[in-house]
Structure 1
Amino acid sequence: MSEIAYIRGDATIPSVKGVKVIAHVCNDIGGWGKGFVLAISRRWPEPEKAYRAWHRDRASNDFGLGAAQFVQVEPYVWVANIIGQRGISTGSKGVPVRYEAIAAGLERLADKAAELGASVHMPRIGCGLAGGKWSRIEPLIQEKLVRRGIAVTVYDHGEGGS
C-alpha cells in the first residue's frame, strides 16, 4: 500500500504530471478570507466564486458539513472545497474542525479523484484555522484516499509561511 508523500512547498503548485485535485477545508458559514484559501485565490478566482455561490444558494443544494465542491481551474487542475469546519472560531463547543465532516468530504474527494484519474494535493487540512489535530486527520486520508490507490501529497510550507 502506498503512503502519503510529505514535501516542503506550495500545495497550489503541484509539480507532478497528470490530473491533480488540490483539496482544502472550508467552513459552513460562507467565510473565505483567511488561511490557505488566500493562496488559492491568489492563483485562481473560480474556487472562491463557486464557494460563495454554493453558500448563497444553499437552500437548493448540498452545501453543509461533509459536502465537497469541485471546481476546474486549469485543464488538468481542480480545486476541492470541502466543508469540514463548523463556523470559524473556537468557542464553548471547542475548535471549528469536524472530523466526521472531513471524513465524508474525503470520501467524495476519493470518488472524484478516481473518476478523473487524479492525484490529490493538500496542506495539512483542518489543522490551521480549523484547529484540528493531524494525528486525527492523517488516518482519515489513509482510509478514504490512500487505501483506494489514490496518490496523496501533503505540503508543508517553507520558511516564513503560514
Structure 2
Amino acid sequence: MVPLQIIKGDATSPQAAGPKIIAHVSNDIGGWGKGFVIALSRRWPEPERAFRQWHRERAGNDFGLGATQLVPVAADLWVANMVGQRGIRTARSTGVPIRYPALERCLHALAGHAVRLKASVHMPRIGCGLAGGKWERVEPLIVTALCARDIPTVVYDRD
C-alpha cells in the first residue's frame, strides 16, 4: 500500500511525472459553477462541457449518484467528474449533499481508470467543501479505494 500524500498546492496543477487524473466531486442535478470546478473550468473547458452533456443526456447513460466520467484534457491528463453528492446546499437545506456510499463507488471506478492508465490521482479534499463532508470519513474511502491498490494519490491543500 502506498501512503496518501497531502501537500500544499493547486490540484489543477498536479505535481507528478507520467499519466495523471485530477478527481473532484460533483452533484447529481447537473450544477457546475461553484467550488473547485471553477478552477477546473479556468484551465480546461472540456470537463464542464462533458459533465453538462452527460447530465443533459442522462436518460440514455449512467449519470447519477456513484457514476464517474473520465474526460481527457491534455496528453496524459484526465479529469474525473465523480457524482458523489445529492443536489446542492441551499439556505433551506438540512443535512449535507455528500453521499458517502456514492463517493465510495466513484473512488473504486476511479481506481479502475488509474490502474488501466497507469496514472497517479490528484485531488483537493474531495467532498469536504460545498458537499459538506467530513475529512475523517472521506480519507479512509480514498485510502481503501486508491492507496491500498498502490495507486499514488495526492491531496492538495490550497496555500
Scaled to the shorter chain, the TM-score interval is over 0.9
- The alignment of Structure 1 onto Structure 2 pairs a total of residues equal to 157
**Where do 1:69-108 residues align within 5 Å?**
69-89=69-89, 91-92=93-94, 94-108=95-109
When the two structures are superposed, what TM-score results if normalisation uses the length of structure 1?
0.96
Q: Report deviation, 1:60.
A: 0.2
What corresponds to 1:129 in structure 2?
Answer: 130
- Structure 2 residue runs of 5 or longer lacking an equivalent are none
Letter aligned with residue 154 of structure 1: V
What corresponds to 1:9 in structure 2?
Answer: 9
Letter aligned with residue 70 of structure 1: L
Q: Report deviation, 1:100.
A: 0.3
The C-alpha deviation readout for 1:120-153, integer Å capped at 9, x for no partner, is 0000000000000000000000111111110000
Letter aligned with residue 99 of structure 1: Y
What corresponds to 1:29 in structure 2?
Answer: 29
What secondary structure sits across from 2:81 in the alignment? strand
What corresponds to 2:121 in structure 1?
Answer: 120
Q: Report deviation, 1:41.
A: 0.2
Q: After the TM superposition, which parts of structure 1 deviate over 3 Å for at least 4 consecutive aligned residues?
A: none
What corresponds to 2:40 in structure 1?
Answer: 40
When the two structures are superposed, what TM-score results if normalisation uses the length of structure 2?
0.97
- Structure 1 residue runs of 5 or longer lacking an equivalent are none
Q: Distance in 2 between matches of 1:139 and 1:7?
A: 17
What corresponds to 1:145 in structure 2?
Answer: 146
Q: Report deviation, 1:2.
A: 1.6
What secondary structure sits across from 1:10 in the alignment? coil
Q: Report deviation, 1:15.
A: 2.0
Q: Distance in 1 between matches of 2:130 and 2:46?
A: 22
What corresponds to 2:64 in structure 1?
Answer: 64
Q: Distance in 2 between matches of 1:54 and 1:14?
A: 25
Letter aligned with residue 118 of structure 2: G
The C-alpha deviation readout for 1:101-129, integer Å capped at 9, x for no partner, is 00000000000000000000000000000
Q: Distance in 2 between matches of 1:146 and 1:69?
A: 20
